[in-house]
Each structure stands twice: as structure tokens, then as C-alpha cells.
């Protein structure tokens, strides 16, 4: 059964390649892409159920035993993130035909989309730190192609910066892996975790840990390394923005979560450092969101405070906080995708992204309006929605360890997040009917709303069904706090 | 030998970063090539350099070169080759569309 762990990587990879050959038959490609994505979701859901019942699956590629070969480790954390990834993917694939131009679809959108899913799933599932780098590159290569798809002036300009910053951090990643290899002589994460504890020179290891943090912080867009994110996430098509916003930064957060709960564990200085970074990330991100009138940019800036909340959990480093981070991670993946898709729909229907030029949308598109309000409440963390439960856990853990300042910053940030989104709601959806500014296209609006409803449905379920989901998050928190379980399941000693 | 290689890798990093901070697109790309080559040399050095030994462990062979860094480098070279070629095409198109190859003029401050 251990081969199951490879399926979430192999299915999208083969699907992506398959669709290249059919590229002259767009109707077939569209249907096939939907079927394959749904199929992949079903497979991943089955694997998740299997792991929930039977525990971690490890696959030793090519039959090479754990420290020598490359391993794929599908534990509860990885598979839940892969499941959420596929959920977002389903919404994106149903949204894509109405949002992309025929030309964009024709130039291999679906292929790159599947390769992106491959990279993201691979990064979640791998148990080898060099392999993590390789899957990062698979994911980034696909994202380079997606961000430039369509090739407008602004898009090209922003993608240059996006490629450069990611290229630089990748080179740094590879260098850091080389450093680590020279100190401990392995790249297998479980063995790394074992050996790092035995190394006597702690100084060099702290340097390596900081370098890793720097690399992942660039990818995850933490303060002060988030400057590349907002503009480059606004430039591409809304579907692509939704995929990026939901998946790419979260892979960075996942890497920090994995590396700093498994390999470089518990350094009080590092902990303090994480908490400060978290506070600054929240504040500066949300200030950015309030500073602009571009509705897409508001959502792009809103990625940053969310990332801050997750880092806060890793910094507090106790079971409640880590569970909170996991819960928040899943919640944020779903809701960010939904928000990007919603705002993309508004921008498409209104023909502009400037919120001062849009008004009275509620009269024409009531469903869209109510969905946006719901998404706002979910993101800002109004009870009983999922944002509230994630934040509650994190702030509870903060109060329990007497860090009042960070809790206050967290609360102010949540309030400002609500404000930044309410600005969009009040400006765009309220107000007088404005018949001259745009032509009303209810048909298109209906196509846009369906995927968003799917995402919001799961988001609401995640919040209202907390009774069911919280124990899972709690068990993952417990699992991450005890790295021996991971090491044992990989090395089987 | 390791010391010399480390200094060489460091020099490549230094010149690469200097070029990365220039305004002209092509120089920036050359900078990225230099730092990725620096990183590759660095990986090789990290696995300890032994001259004349094969990276194979067989019966009777006691002295061998660590094969893992070589495998890592190969992967890394392929990736950086791919990214560099993509970056060159991208830079060409971007400078055509924006009618400049100066990064100062590509800042994009229409939202400010």
C-alpha cells in the first residue's frame, strides 16, 4: 500500500503531459482537465482516509532503504495539505474557462496548472530535503509559466522580478543544503533530525537554521521579505492569482513548520525571533492592505498577515499553537483562493480594479455580494467561522505563555483585516445603481459564483464542523511536537 | 584544495551579487548565472575533494569520492540551465514590450 504516497504526484504529472498532446482540441482538454482533477481529488481523499485509519505511509523510491534512497512520507499533516490543495485545484479548474481567454487556455494553461499541483503536492509529501528543493523548482517552473501567460506589458515586467527573487532564493536553498550536508552528512529529513541533535558545534547549525528560515521566508513572504509578493500576484489572471495565493506561500510555511519542528527544534532565541517577525509581518501586511484602492491588491496584501499568524504559532511552539497553525493553514488556503476568485469576478464584471470606480454591484449581482460578505467574515474570523477557531487557538496559546503584546497585535490585525475587506464591500456593492459604467452580464456571474460557492461551503464546514476537525488538528499538533514518531516511521528502527 | 575552491565559490557569489544589483537586465541575468555556478562549486567542495578516486563503492575499494554531491550538482545544474534559458526569453520579451531594459524604469508604481 505504500505506493499510494506517490499517486498525488504522479496523477497530475501524467495528466499535465497528456494534455500537451491534445492541445488542438480545446473542448476535450477542458472536460478532461475537470475529470482528471476530480479523479485526483477522489484518490487523495481515499489516501487521507487510509492514513487516518492506518497511520503514516512511507514510500522508499526504487526500493532503496530510508537513509540512502529518496523517501516520500505521507503523514496526516502532508495529506491534509495535499487534500486542501486539490480542493482549491477543483475550484480553479471550474473557474478557469470563464476567466481565461481562449488564447491563454490554448497556450498550455492546463498543463502548467497540473505541473503546479505536482510540485506543490510533491513538496508536501517528500521526506528528503534536497528533494524538497527539486519539488520547489517543479512548482516554481510551472508558476513562472503561469504568471507570464498572456504576456501583457505589466505581466512581463512583474514576472521578471518574480523569477529573479525566486531564483536567488533557490540558489541560496541549494547552498544551505550543501552546508547542512557537509556538517551532518545526510539529506534525509528523519536522519537529519537524529544527527542534528548529536552535533556538538551548535553555532554552525544555528547559522544553517537561519539560512533555511531566510530561504523559506522569501517564499512565504514574511516581513521584511514580502516586498515582491503583492504586485506580482496582482499581475496574472485571477485563477492564477488564486492558485498562487492559496498554494505557493503556504508551501513556504509548511517547510518552516516541518524543518523547525523536526530538524532544528526548540532554540529559545529563535522562538523569540519568530514571534517578533510574526508581529511585524501582521502589522505591515495589513497596513499594505489598507493603503491601496486596487481591489486585487487588497486581497494580495491580505496574504501577508495570514502568514504572520501561522509563524506566530510556530514561534510559540506548544501543542495548542502548532494545532492552531495547522488549522489556520488549511483555513487560509481555502479562503484565499475563494477571495481571489471573487475579486477576480468583480474586476472582470466591472472592467476595472479601482474600487472608487465600482458601485452598486449588489443591485445586479446579489449572490456575488452575499458571498463576498460571507468570505469577509470567514477571513476576519467572526465566530463561528473557521478563521475564528484558528485565531482563537493561536491567541490562547499566546496568552498562556504570557505574550500579551503579540496577542494585542493579533487582535488589532484581525480588526484591520475586516476593515480592509469591508471597504471593498461598502464601496463596490453598496451605493446607487450605476448602469452606465458597466454592462450587466448575469450569465458570466453565474459561472464565476459556482466554484466560489464550493470553496466557501468547505470553509464554512471547516468552521461549523470544528467539533470534528479540531481533534485532527490537535493530533497533528501532538505529532509535530514529538518528532520521534516521524523518525521512527521513516527509519523503522 | 577545499580552501581554494571555497574562495573561488565565494568570489563567484560576490561578483554574481554585484551584477545582480545592476540596472541592466542582461547583467542581472549574468549575475544569476554566476551565483548558481558558485553554488554548484560549493556543493562539490562540501563533499570533500579527492582527486583520482571514483565515486563507486565496491569490494576491495577503500577510498572513494562521495557520490551524493555529484548527484545533487547534476540536478541543480539542469534546473539552473532551464531557469536561465527561461529568464533570457522572458527578459527579451519584457524589454521589447516595455521598451527598456533598465530596471529603474520597470518599477511599476501605478498604484502609488
Averaged pLDDT for residues A38-46: 95
Closest by CA position to B77, among listed B30, B29, B111, B44: B44
Query: Rounded to a whole number, what is the distance in Å from the CA of A157 to chain B's nearest CA?
Result: 6
Taking only the tens place, the pLDDT of each residue in A209-230 is 999 999 999 999 998 888 889 8
pLDDT at B110 over 80: no
A434 has pLDDT over 70: no
Residue listed under C-alpha cell 495535499:
A82
With CA atoms as reference, report the closest residue to A148 among B111, B94, B101. Answer: B94
Q: Which among A175, A227, A228, A294 is the top mutation candidate for probing chain B, defined by the most B β-carbons within 10 Å of its own β-carbon? A: A175
Chain B nearest C-alpha distance from A228 (Å): 11
CB A58 within 8 A of CB A490: yes
pLDDT surpasses 70 at A54? yes
Whole-number pLDDT of residue A332: 94
* pLDDT value of position A269: 78
Confidence of residue B53 (pLDDT cuts 50, 70, 90): confident
> Which residue in A134, A156, A231 is closest to B97 by CB distance?
A156
Chain B contact set for A297 (CB, 8 A): 111
| Residue closest to A71 by CA, chosen among A179, A180, A189 | A189
What are A313-372's pLDDT values in tens digits? 999 888 999 999 999 999 999 999 999 999 999 998 888 888 888 888 888 888 999 999
pLDDT at B46: 84
Interhelix angle A109-125/A249-262, nearest 10 degrees? 10
Q: Is the pLDDT of residue B97 over 90?
A: no
Tell me which residue in B43, B86, B98 faces A153 most closely, judged by beta carbons: B98
Rounded to an integer, what distance in angstroms lies between the CA atom of residue A270 and that of residue A280? 15
Task: Identify all chain B residues contacting A178, using CB atoms and an 8 Å cutoff.
Answer: 39, 42-43, 46, 69, 72
pLDDT average, residue stretch A52-56? 90
User: CB-CB: which of B76, B86, B108 is closest to A154?
Assistant: B108
Question: Nearest Cβ partner of A297 from B68, B76, B111?
Answer: B111
Q: Which of B46, B93, B111 sits opposite A182 (nearest CB)?
A: B46
Q: What is the mean pLDDT of residues A367-388?
A: 90
Q: Which residue of A has its CA nearest to B69?
A: A178
In A130-143, which positions are buried (b, 16+ CB within 10 angstroms) versus exposed (e)? bbbbbbbbbbbbbb
B106 contact residues in A (CB cutoff 8 A) = 157, 160
Average predicted confidence (pLDDT) for chain A: 90
pLDDT for B111 beyond 60: no
Can you say how many angstroms the Cα of residue A321 is from the centroid of all Cα atoms in its chain?
A: 19
Asked if B43's CB is within 8 angstroms of A148's CB, the reply is no
Best of A152, A156, A165, A185 to disrupt the B interface (most B CBs within 10 Å) is A156
Interface test with chain B among A130, A162, A164, A301, by most B beta carbons within 10 Å: A164
Is A252 exposed, middle or buried, given 0-12, 13-18 or 19+ CB atoms closer than 10 A?
Answer: buried
Give B2's contacts in chain A (Cβ within 8 Å).
Answer: none
Is the pLDDT assigned to residue B112 strictly greater than 50? Answer: no
User: Cβ of A102: how many Cβ atoms within 10 Å?
Assistant: 9
Q: What pLDDT score was predicted for residue A435?
A: 64
pLDDT of A493 > 60? The answer is no
Interface size between A and B, measured as CB pairs under 8 A: 92
Cα separation, A136 vs A145, in Å, equals 14
Interface of A with B (CB under 8 A): 130, 134, 137, 141, 144, 148, 151-154, 156-160, 163-164, 167-168, 170-171, 174-175, 177-179, 181-182, 187, 231, 292-294, 297
Structure confidence at residue A216 (pLDDT): 94
Contacts with A63 (C-beta within 8 Å, 6 or more apart), sequence order: A69
Task: From A198, A58, A89, select the one nearest A485 (Cα to Cα).
Answer: A58
Interchain proximity B94–A160, CB inside 8 Å = yes
Retrieve residue A64's grid coordinates: 532503496
CB nearest to A148's CB, from B32, B76, B90: B90
Degrees, nearest 5: CA angle A172-A120-B36: 20
Which residues neighbour A73 within 8 Å (Cβ) at sequence distance 6 or greater?
Answer: A5, A56, A57, A58, A59, A125, A126, A127, A189, A190, A486, A489, A490
User: What number is the average pLDDT over the span A424-434?
Assistant: 82
Contact (CB<8Å) B75/A170: no
- Those residues of chain B whose CB sits closer than 8 Å to some CB in chain A are 20, 25, 28, 32, 35-36, 39, 42-43, 46-47, 68-69, 72, 75-76, 79-80, 82-83, 86-87, 90-91, 93-94, 97-98, 106, 108, 111
Do A155 and A203 contact (CB within 8 A), yes or no? no
What confidence tens digit (pLDDT) does each residue in A272-312 have? 889 999 999 999 999 999 998 899 999 999 999 999 999 99
Q: What is the per-residue pLDDT for A89?
A: 95
Q: What is the DSSP string of A229-283?
A: HHHHHHSS-HHHHHHIIIIIHHHHHHHHHHHHHHTS---HHHHHHHHHHHHHHHH
Query: Which tens digit of pLDDT belongs to each residue from A104-160?
Result: 888 899 999 999 999 999 999 999 999 999 999 999 999 999 999 887 888 888 899
Please tell me the predicted confidence (pLDDT) of residue A98. Answer: 87
The rounded percent of chain A whose pLDDT value lies above 90 is: 58
The answer to whether domain B2-52+63-104 has CATH 1.10.287.3510 is: yes
Q: If phi over 0 gives left and psi between -120 and 50 gives alpha, with beta otherwise, what is residue B3?
A: alpha
Amino acid at each position: 500500500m505504500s505506493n499510494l504516497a506517490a499517486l498525488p504526484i504522479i496523477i497530475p504529472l501524467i495528466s499535465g503531459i497528456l494534455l500537451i498532446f491534445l492541445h488542438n482540441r480545446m473542448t476535450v482538454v477542458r472536460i478532461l482537465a475537470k475529470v482528471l482533477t476530480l479523479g485526483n481529488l477522489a484518490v487523495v481523499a481515499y489516501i487521507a482516509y487510509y492514513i487516518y485509519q492506518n497511520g503514516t505511509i512511507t514510500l522508499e523510491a526504487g526500493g532503496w532503504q530510508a537513509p540512502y534512497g529518496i523517501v516520500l512520507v505521507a503523514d496526516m499533516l502532508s495529506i491534509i495539505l495535499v487534500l486542501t490543495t486539490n480542493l482549491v485545484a477543483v475550484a480553479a479548474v471550474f473557474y478557469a474557462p470563464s476567466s481565461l481567454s481562449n488564447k491563454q487556455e490554448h497556450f498550455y494553461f492546463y498543463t502548467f496548472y497540473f505541473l503546479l499541483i505536482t510540485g506543490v503536492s510533491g513538496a508536501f509529501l517528500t521526506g528528503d530535503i534536497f528533494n524538497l528543493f527539486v519539488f520547489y523548482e517543479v512548482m516554481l517552473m510551472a508558476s513562472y509559466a503561469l504568471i507570464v501567460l498572456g504576456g501583457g506589458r505589466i505581466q512581463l515586467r512583474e514576472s521578471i522580478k518574480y523569477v529573479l527573487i525566486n531564483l536567488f532564493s533557490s540558489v541560496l536553498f541549494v547552498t544551505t543544503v550543501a552546508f547542512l550536508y557537509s556538517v551532518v552528512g545526510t539529506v534525509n529529513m528523519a536522519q537529519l533530525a537524529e544527527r542534528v541533535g548529536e552535533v556538538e558545534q551548535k553555532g554552525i547549525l544555528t547559522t544553517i537554521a537561519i539560512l533555511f528560515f531566510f530561504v523559506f521566508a522569501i517564499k512565504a513572504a514574511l516581513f521584511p521579505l514580502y516586498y515582491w509578493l503583492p504586485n506580482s500576484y496582482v499581475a496574472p489572471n485571477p485563477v492564477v492569482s488564486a492558485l498562487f495565493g492559496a498554494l505557493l506561500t503556504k508551501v513556504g510555511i509548511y517547510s518552516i513548520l516541518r524543518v523547525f519542528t523536526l530538524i532544528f527544534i526548540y532554540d529559545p532565541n529563535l522562538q523569540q525571533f519568530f514571534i517578533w517577525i510574526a508581529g511585524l509581518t501582521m502589522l505591515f501586511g495589513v497596513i499594505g492592505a489598507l493603503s491601496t484602492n486596487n481591489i486585487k491588491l487588497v486581497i494580495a496584501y491580505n496574504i501577508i498577515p495570514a502568514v504572520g499568524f501561522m509563524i506566530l504559532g510556530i514561534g510559540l511552539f506548544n501543542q495548542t499553537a502548532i494545532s492552531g497553525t495547522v488549522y489556520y493553514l488549511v483555513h487560509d488556503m481555502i479562503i484565499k483562493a475563494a477571495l481571489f476568485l471573487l475579486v477576480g469576478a468583480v474586476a472582470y464584471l466591472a472592467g476595472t480594479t479601482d474600487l472608487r470606480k465600482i458601485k452598486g454591484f449588489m443591485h445586479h449581482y446579489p449572490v456575488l455580494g452575499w458571498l463576498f460578505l460571507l468570505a469577509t467574515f470567514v477571513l476576519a474570523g467572526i465566530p463561528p467561522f473557521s478563521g475564528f477557531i484558528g485565531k482563537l487557538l493561536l491567541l490562547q496559546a499566546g496568552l498562556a505563555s504570557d505574550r500579551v503584546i503579540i496577542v494585542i497585535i493579533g487582535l488589532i490585525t484581525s480588526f484591520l483585516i475586516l476593515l480592509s475587506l469591508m471597504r471593498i464591500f461598502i464601496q463596490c456593492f453598496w451605493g446607487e445603481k450605476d448602469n452606465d459604467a458597466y454592462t450587466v452580464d448575469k450569465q458570466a456571474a453565474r459561472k464565476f459564483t459556482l466554484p466560489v460557492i464550493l470553496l466557501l461551503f468547505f470553509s464554512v464546514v471547516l468552521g461549523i464542523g470544528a467539533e470534528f476537525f479540531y481533534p485532527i488538528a490537535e493530533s497533528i499538533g501532538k505529532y509535530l511536537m514529538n518528532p520521534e514518531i516521524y523518525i521512527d516511521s521513516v527509519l523503522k528502527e | 584544495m577545499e580552501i581554494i575552491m571555497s574562495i573561488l565559490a565565494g568570489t563567484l557569489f560576490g561578483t554574481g551579487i554585484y551584477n545582480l544589483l545592476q540596472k541592466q537586465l542582461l547583467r542581472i541575468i549574468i549575475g544569476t548565472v554566476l551565483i548558481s555556478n558558485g553554488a554548484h562549486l560549493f556543493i562539490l567542495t562540501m563533499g570533500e575533494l579527492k582527486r583520482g578516486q571514483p565515486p563507486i563503492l565496491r569490494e576491495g575499494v577503500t577510498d572513494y569520492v562521495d557520490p551524493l554531491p555529484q548527484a545533487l550538482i547534476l540536478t541543480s545544474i539542469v534546473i539552473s540551465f532551464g531557469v536561465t534559458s527561461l529568464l533570457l526569453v522572458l527578459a527579451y520579451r519584457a524589454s521589447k514590450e516595455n521598451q527598456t531594459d533598465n530596471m529603474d524604469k520597470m518599477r511599476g508604481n501605478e498604484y502609488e
